[in-house]
Amino acid sequence: MSPLAVAVLAVGALAMVNLVLVVGVVRRLREHSELLARTPGPAAGLPEGMTGVAPAGTPVPAFTTGPADSPVTDRDLADGTLVAFFSPTCGPCRDKLPGFVARYADRPEEARHVLAVVVHESGDPGDPDTTGTTGTTGTTDTADTADGSMAAALAAVVPTVQEPYDGPVTEAFAVKAFPSCVRVGHGPDGGLVVTEVGNWPRTPVPAAR
């Protein structure tokens, strides 16, 4: 066999091996994408330019969360209310928590127009039978878990609710990533509408001594 023929066969064999590897990589990527699609709950953060919540202009469907004796509904949210979504398993959420709490610690009037939503995995330890709520007293109706600790910190300064990934508030705002926040207002028909996305309140800067 001539050297040229050997070279052609070698190149063909390499091309075949490369094709098999490419097909394998594509198959693994497809399987990985399908796995992510089946994974319950949103991820912690999204690439730059993407939002993990319903975009501005989206009508918000009616929702009711919390226990029967003190429910929170879409009708309770006034124009300009900030709805902020946190998860105890989200690193960026834990990083943002202290500044968020500090923002409202001495601003009770501003804090009234905030709803914090702590989202946990269904079946977590301490998961209440019904969606849990907290007021601004710092108490929760769950065990002292990571969920409860985050909710307690938020509830000390702003109205706070707890719910699973498929909870009514999380689904109403189509939350897919944490942390996420929106502001809401009312449209011409009186229904609740997302007016702004991703504009977090500024963390107060300590005064220089």
For residue 139, the model assigns a pLDDT of 37
For residue 67, the model assigns a pLDDT of 77
For residue 47, the model assigns a pLDDT of 47
Q: Where are the domains of the chain?
A: 1-39, 44-197
Residues in the chain with pLDDT values less than 50 = 32-42, 46-49, 123-131, 136-144
For residue 140, the model assigns a pLDDT of 37
- pLDDT digit string (tens) for 158-197? 999 999 999 999 999 999 999 999 999 999 999 999 999 9
Instruction: Report the alpha-carbon distance of residue 107 to residue 10 in Å, rounded.
Output: 74
Q: What residues form DSSP beta bridges with 183?
A: 82, 196
User: What stretches of the chain show up as alpha helix (H) in DSSP?
Assistant: 3-38, 91-105, 108-111, 146-155, 168-172
Show the tokens assigned to 202: 């500024």
Instruction: Report the alpha-carbon distance of residue 134 to residue 116 in Å, rounded.
Output: 10
For residue 68, the model assigns a pLDDT of 84
Task: Pick one of 3.40.30.10, 3.30.70.420, 1.20.1250.20, 3.40.50.720 as the CATH number of 44-197.
Answer: 3.40.30.10
SS3 content of the chain, % helix, strand, coil (to 5): 35, 20, 45
Q: What residues form DSSP beta bridges with 163?
A: 119
For residue 143, the model assigns a pLDDT of 35
For residue 29, the model assigns a pLDDT of 53
The pTM of the whole model exceeds 0.75: no
